[in-house]
Chains A and B, each alone.
Chain A
């Protein structure tokens, strides 16, 4: 470790104190849940939430800027991509909040590095090992109180990376029901000093416990409750999330994913189709949760590895960039536009400067949604998002 590294780790220690979790438990709000929506590949923020009045928008994007018939106006400044029209109801009802200009210092432009940063709450100089909310959620709810701490419905477990806890992946609804009880008892051995074996046994054990509980609940799900959301595989995941909630499965976090946002080329067509699935999927999810009475207790949050470069490239696309807006949706929030749009007149190498550290959003979610006043990100407090969530 050289001097610089030592300095950094000291800083890191200051920045991320371990929250005294026992104290935090008093204020927490149980029964609420968060649905994380990963826009994998890096969503282009500028063509999602469009500053259509800004002449510079058309200047930096002569070929791929959205025309009037390709937009859906929200305010006198901003419009959504027309593919997101299905979110109009949520917007009208005040169930949709847009947080602008999210990013972090020292932007890393590699997909997997930067998604790992978002997943673990790091920044350009450090990425963590554990998922950003795993420790706080485990502190909030003991494994015995939940069916799972989190369930990923897309197979991806990065955001749930944790050395312990019940973080599950479930890619079809019946997976656990049909597999529970079928497993033959493995010969009992102990891990000893072998780290690989210890991990294997630990994971097998947590899984058995959770499966038994979850499968029992899914079996009670009435067959007629099955429904579809017409948004491709994303719709399938969204529908599954709604069904898990309907079945009464206790899991503070669910995770779904829409993949394919790496639009280096042919963006107008590809992005249009992706956002259509996103809009339909989220609108369908909202409808389902309103029907089952769970919408007030559910918060949907999008995230992505980074935004895309403000200046378009030569292939009708955009390259890896920096800041981007994200969506929060719930029956329990104050909808509207939050934060400040990055200044298109102040681009650095064709990139927007972020206006809000994404960890402020994490902090706000942990503090106001889950009532975890003391959490991993409290040093990122910023009044910009105060009041966005009803605590």
Chain B
């Protein structure tokens, strides 16, 4: 399996930054080393004595750990924090489980040996569905032992399937500058991010099916619905969603206290609940309120005054989007005054808030109740048992596996009256079906889309309260869709079970690669034997069906001598797969289109000047116009021979009469075609030109400015510069601040300020020299370059500490500032951030700047060639799009279902089916409802109990 790197490392780096920030900013120092702290907690929970739980590696911790390892006969040298491997953490969980199995020995209801019914119950509640092989593995264990098996697999570890490549790609997209984009560019940016989200969603769905640790994925899903964030509500910051997902993946099974603290540092959450612009003068209460209402305490356990105080403590907690996306504390926006929270008064910050809230007795009860709803019953609550679980959770300092262990060990969890009292979510229903049937059902429905249709679009919970579950899954529309979906699955499973070797013309090619089989309509056969002498054309498309799917052809075009395009070769007709039936389900939102890829073999050599994709069977409409059903066809791109032809650069001609119909190429609402002649190739690297006699930048935009007022001592005007570079010095992202400074003893000064905080990865191609100022509030280094007025000695030393190249770089930036401002005026930020009004208050000073610059040392040191924007190059958005497109077309991973090769997973179920499988492998039995005799597997899908777990 592919190792996680890239952003996964960034997460580690992020945690490290966090620790450093904690150290630098004087936060409580309880997180010295997170792994050590986890080990200490693990030792304590397993009944060993590691000394104080302080995150410091010491003799007590070391000896307790070696004692434990010896007790369990595990040989591993652990001499320090660097040796803390998976083996150690596994040993800790083993010891924890052993301790609890001993404690549970005198509870008769936990000493019952599991039969199929109990095993399926445990798996369906803690995992996703239950494959018969998973069930059989648990049969015969005591309930107590089986619970240990679940607990042992709560750590998600590295995913089985590789995550989309964009999560590992270098610098993040230019989130910080995107507000400056004009609408068209914004929309391209947005589309690129949407595409990334779709990939992440598709990956997670596949991972949910493949995983051999369904209990870990269930827990991640739980946290996704506890600390809710929705992609569409955070202005398309797909990377933030990914980082949050990874947080749940890496930390969700550990400690709730840590998770609460981490979520207050999480960019996606800070954005979703508007804390990233909460400042002392105008605190935003959103995060404060939801933190208490939905994350920690529950409605009614705090008052409005507390909301206000907590909001004050959270002011200044934001994040940076420059080059990466990570937590950033802004001391000047933070209200450092005293706050009173639950009777405790102090200069509280977010970390203190988490601790104070978790000291409230309601916290453990609230979280335990939420887990109860997810794991035990949506309808029945046993207050006495809940109190026991909550007490254990609190006593274990909010250890998540303790919480789960006590829930699963409760009488209520195993009680007859609570079986079948949770309505299956769409994930339970669809992914659960795939897992329990041993079949990746992506072949019959597009799972991410179908989840969305049934109301559980991953990464898009409806609001901050998350998916309510229970009756909300059973609204009339959803009942209809659920039944319809189950019918389709039933048909598919029956068909598939009838065929030992699925016929290639019926079954689709591996859906895990997103490819779809195409049916040759007027050509004999297009199966694997197709003649590919000329190569293979790949097309990514989506369909909306109405009284049948769209069909299309691909034309290879070449230029004749007059330069006109002529048809060179025409593909057979292709029937679009995977379309949504618009008559039944209505039109599809653009972001939910069920994209597919197909391959078209070309039998002879071609030399294409263009490709043309032609939609040939438009059909409209049902009653109510196109909303009552419409057949449409969408193209995303065509690829051939290492070239990628994005449709956004295509030319479209359809028979639609609306003048706008062909304005967005790739959306064919009427018969017609789109012609693609422009392409990218993998070596269309961004031309990252460098020059040592000319400052190059990719873009400059207005950031913000203060109005120039005579009385203010420090007034600034700030610009964002993308990829400024000169020779070997440069940054990927950089803010430069023009400052007018009034001083008592030296009068007025004008300078250019740069700060490490506002540069990525740093301002000068290397960390700033030690002569730089250190900002007392943030700990970041800063430098001032004075143009007008007196230069302090410190500032002179800073200038002198620069290398020649750095001096040239800084000087070139300074000299270019007037031009940069003129350039920034063309951008959207200028218009929408009222820059003009502020600019006008600066005009006198800017005139002075223009006058002073040519006579300054900066003019002497600046690069002789001035500055320039990088030449026309495929913008970063197209590049990342390109990367993700190409990545999607690679060879598929071997299919895995429930941790088994998919063939084995399927054969296991089919083997059972031949001898009429007992219904209890698939259905919850409750008193008063007879389970059917299963003749065909599909019968279980239509049974009402299949909707419950």
Contact = CB atoms under 8 A, between A and B. Distances in A.
B281 A314 contact: yes
Contact of A243 (B285, B471, B624): B624
Nearest to A349: B308
Contacts of A184: 483, 487, 942
A4 B345 CA distance: 27
A21 B24 CA distance: 68
B379 A264 contact: no
Given A113-B299, A175-B585, A170 B477 contact: yes
A173 B627 contact: yes
Interface in A190-224: 190, 192-197, 199-201, 203-204, 206-207, 210, 218-219, 221, 223
Given A111-B463, A112-B463, A203-B479, A197 B929 contact: yes
A172 interface: yes
Contact of B584 (A170, A175, A193, A218): A175
Residue of A171, A178, A223, A228 contacting most chain B CB atoms (<10 Å): A178
A9 interface: no
Given A187-B944, A200-B944, A171 B477 contact: yes
Interface stretch (B212-220, B415-423, B646-654, B692-700): B415-423
Given A112-B465, A175-B586, A313-B282, A189 B627 contact: no
Interface in B622-658: 622-625, 627-629
Contacts of A219: 623
B293 interface: yes
B944 A201 contact: yes
Given A171-B586, A184-B487, A203 B476 contact: yes
A120 B379 CA distance: 21
Most buried by A among B285, B628, B927, B942: B628
Contacts of B929: 189-190, 192, 194, 197
B421 A187 contact: no
B625 A204 contact: no
B178 interface: no
A221 B629 CA distance: 15
A227 B625 contact: yes
Given A192-B928, A313-B282, A314-B281, A173 B623 contact: yes
Interface in B569-612: 582-587
Nearest to B926: A194
Contacts of B487: 184
B284 A319 contact: yes
Contacts of B422: 196
Interface in A130-177: 155, 157, 167-175, 177
A199 B474 contact: yes
A157 B475 contact: yes
B293 A228 contact: no
A99 interface: no
A292 interface: no
A186 B944 CA distance: 7
B274 A193 contact: no
A207 B284 contact: no
B622 to A, nearest CB: 5
B476 A169 contact: yes
A196 B948 contact: yes
B436 interface: no
A197 B945 contact: yes
A264 B274 contact: yes
Dominant secondary structure of chain B at its interface with chain A: mixed
A183 B488 CA distance: 12
B932 A187 contact: yes
Interface in B846-862: none
Interface string A98-113: 0000000000011111
A182 interface: yes
Contact of B476 (A170, A239, A313): A170
B251 interface: no
A183 B481 CA distance: 10
Nearest to A202: B474
Contacts of A175: 477, 480, 584-586
B639 to A, nearest CB: 33
A264 B475 CA distance: 31
Interface string B466-488: 00001110111111100110010
Nearest to A204: B479
Most central of B293, B487, B621, B624 by chain A CB within 10 Å: B624
Nearest to B274: A264
Nearest to B477: A169
B285 A320 contact: yes
B484 to A, nearest CB: 7
Nearest to A168: B476
Contacts of B195: none
A109 B284 contact: no
A226 interface: yes
B874 to A, nearest CB: 30
Given A172-B628, A182-B484, A196 B285 contact: no
B475 A169 contact: yes
A16 interface: no
B943 interface: yes
A83 to B, nearest CB: 18
B507 interface: no
B351 interface: no
A315 interface: yes
Interface string B443-478: 000000000000000000001110000111011111
Given A111-B463, A172-B586, A175-B477, A314 B277 contact: yes
A177 B586 CA distance: 12
A174 B583 contact: yes
A315 B628 contact: no
B480 A179 contact: yes
A196 B293 contact: no
A240 interface: yes
B289 interface: yes
Contacts of B927: 192-193
B380 to A, nearest CB: 8
Nearest to A203: B474
Contacts of A110: 289-290, 293, 299
A47 B466 CA distance: 30
Contacts of A173: 622-624, 627-628
A193 B928 contact: yes
B475 A193 contact: no
B679 to A, nearest CB: 34
A197 B420 contact: yes
Contacts of A109: 285, 289, 304
Nearest to B473: A200
B121 to A, nearest CB: 14
A165 to B, nearest CB: 12
Given A172-B627, A240-B624, A200 B947 contact: yes
Contacts of A296: none
A265 interface: yes
Contacts of B583: 174, 178
A205 B472 CA distance: 17
Contacts of B622: 173-174
A240 B926 CA distance: 42
The 5 closest A-B pairs by CB, nearest first: A172-B586, A192-B928, A173-B624, A226-B625, A195-B379
Interface of A: 109-113, 155, 157, 167-175, 177-179, 182-184, 186-187, 189-190, 192-197, 199-201, 203-204, 206-207, 210, 218-219, 221, 223, 226-228, 236, 239-240, 243, 264-266, 269, 313-315, 319-320
21 contacts: A110-B289, A110-B299, A169-B478, A172-B627, A173-B623, A173-B624, A174-B628, A177-B623, A178-B584, A179-B484, A179-B584, A186-B944, A194-B421, A196-B470, A196-B948, A199-B423, A203-B479, A223-B623, A226-B621, A319-B284, A320-B286
Given A174-B623, A192-B926, 17 more contacts: A110-B299, A112-B465, A171-B477, A172-B586, A173-B628, A174-B628, A187-B943, A192-B928, A194-B929, A196-B378, A199-B471, A200-B474, A206-B476, A207-B479, A207-B480, A264-B274, A319-B284
